Amino acid sequence: MSIKKKPDTRISLNDLIATSNRVSAVIERVRSTMLAPDARKTSPTFSTNQIATICGLDKAKMDYRLKKGDLPIGKMDAGHRRRFSLEDTRTWAKSVRSKLMRPQNAEAITIAVANFKGGVTKTTTAVTLAQGLSLRGHNVLVIDTDPQGSMTTLFGLLPDVDVSDEQTILSLCYGSEVSIDYAVTPTYWSGIDIVPANLGLYSAEFALPSRQKTEGSFEFWNVLDHGIDTARTKYDVIILDTSPSLSYLTINALLAADGLIMPLPPSTLDFTSSGQFWNLFNELTANLVTNRGKTKSFDFVDVLLARVDANDASSNVVREWITAGYANMVLPVEIPKTALTASASAEFGTVYDTDPATINARTYRRAFDAYERVVELVEGQIQTAWNRQLGEQYGA
């Protein structure tokens, strides 16, 4: 009896290459259908009510400013309701909220969103915050320091298709550039520029330690901090998204930051992991900063309770632990776990990109109000940090 040879079902490296090509093609196709007609994201439009809320105007004052005619009056839609473009909305915010904008001699406040646990909503928080601040009139630069490029994707750019290595912070890491200016790219969202990321950025994890060994006075942890100096005078806020690890790039982001935001879902594992994050961070900064006789301080460190599930009884217990541990660092607002991002197309955007007409009104309102509150609280901290800068300049 002859033994029949079984068909070879093992998966070769070539099979994996073919699979990877297929996955990339599917992503490209998905993007084209979701972002039809031209596969580019477009920014939302805003109602009179939304502008009034952003600008803190009541109906009478809003009507008065509309009649005065010195600000954009928008366009009437098919239902005879006034709609304003994002640019118009920002013009309103800058004018009406002029006292809340960056003072002339102050520099951008840099905020890193970090937590070495994966999937805790770092990227969502970073992008939402950037959008909320830009809607309030601020000019924002976002920098994707995560080779996964999720933030880049949320801005409608596919990391491996639309982004070249030269557009990322990699050249800073290699030392061929000293200022981030070369990599700044405009986005679909007026008022937000991005320095995108792609997988090539991963090689920074080899470049930075290698330069540390070979270049005498090189300090790998200061590369981004020095690299964004020019941007600090051009933007109001710089937001850094980080990868779920304490990598060389994440350390750069943390040490470039004036403020830190740590999104933290109230689950036991996320809480214990956050403790390890701070242990490791303290150990690292002791070696890099304190032991060299230098100091580093932050204007604010916020713990943001994120993806809070109202139906999960255990989250109440963990919330207590978080409050006991992080005390007044915990922001007085919680981001609910929401079905908002459950639809596939919403995965390409945030609450600010979502058309309220397309989803359940209560679901939208809960998520939107929570993020607005976060933006409001962080804007307050940014203003305090600007005042601190001015105080230092005048020797107060």
Ligand X SMILES: Nc1ncnc2c1ncn2[C@@H]1O[C@H](COP(=O)(O)OP(=O)(O)OP(=O)(O)O)[C@@H](O)[C@H]1O
* Binding-site ranges for ligand X (CB under 6 A): 118-124, 146, 150, 244, 307, 335, 337-338, 341, 347
* Pick 54 or 374: Cβ nearer ligand X: 374
- DSSP string computed for 1-38: -PPPPPP--PPPHHHHHHHHHHHHHHHHHHHHHHTTTT
* Pick 18 or 339: Cβ nearer ligand X: 339
Q: CB of residue 201 vs ligand X: minimum separation in angstroms? A: 13
The residue whose two tokens read 């309103």 is: 92
Least Cα distance to 160 among 32, 27, 35 occurs for 27
The two beta strands, 237-241 and 109-113, are parallel
Q: CB of residue 242 vs Mg ion: minimum separation in angstroms? A: 8
The interface partner of residue 335, options being Mg ion, ligand X, none and the CB cut-off 5 to 8 Å by kind, is ligand X
- CA–centroid distance for 230 within its chain: 20
- The b-or-e profile of 149-174 (16+ CB within 10 A means b, else e) is bbbbbbbbbbbeebbeeebbbbbbbb
* Pick 200 or 244: Cβ nearer Mg ion: 244
Q: CB of residue 121 vs ligand X: minimum separation in angstroms? A: 4
- DSSP string computed for 374-393: HHHHHHHHHHHHHHHHHHHH
Q: CB of residue 61 vs ligand X: minimum separation in angstroms? A: 33
The interface partner of residue 118, options being ligand X, Mg ion, none and the CB cut-off 5 to 8 Å by kind, is ligand X
Q: Could you say which of 31, 122, 307, 337 contacts Mg ion (CB under 5 A)?
A: 122
Cα separations in angstroms, 276 against 80, 250, 258: 55, 15, 22
* Pick 150 or 341: Cβ nearer Mg ion: 150
The DSSP letter of residue 108 is P
Q: CB of residue 353 vs ligand X: minimum separation in angstroms? A: 12
Residue 178 contacts residue 213 (beta carbons within 8 Å): no
Q: What are 47's strand-pairing partners?
A: 83
Q: CB of residue 137 vs ligand X: minimum separation in angstroms? A: 25
The interface partner of residue 338, options being Mg ion, ligand X, none and the CB cut-off 5 to 8 Å by kind, is ligand X
Instruction: Check residue 150 for interaction with Mg ion (CB under 5 A).
Output: yes
For residues 61 and 67, what is the distance between their CA atoms, to the nearest angstrom?
10
The interface partner of residue 119, options being ligand X, Mg ion, none and the CB cut-off 5 to 8 Å by kind, is ligand X
Least Cα distance to 144 among 153, 156, 135, 133 occurs for 153
Residue 204 contacts residue 188 (beta carbons within 8 Å): no
Q: CB of residue 148 vs Mg ion: minimum separation in angstroms? A: 6
* Pick 96 or 306: Cβ nearer ligand X: 306
Contact string (CB under 5 A) for Mg ion, positions 123-142, x = contact: x-------------------
* Pick 55 or 308: Cβ nearer ligand X: 308
> Using CB under 5 A, which residues numbered 314 to 343 contact Mg ion?
none
The interface partner of residue 307, options being Mg ion, ligand X, none and the CB cut-off 5 to 8 Å by kind, is ligand X
Q: CB of residue 328 vs ligand X: minimum separation in angstroms? A: 23
Please report, as ranges, the residues that interact with Mg ion according to CB under 5 A.
122-123, 150
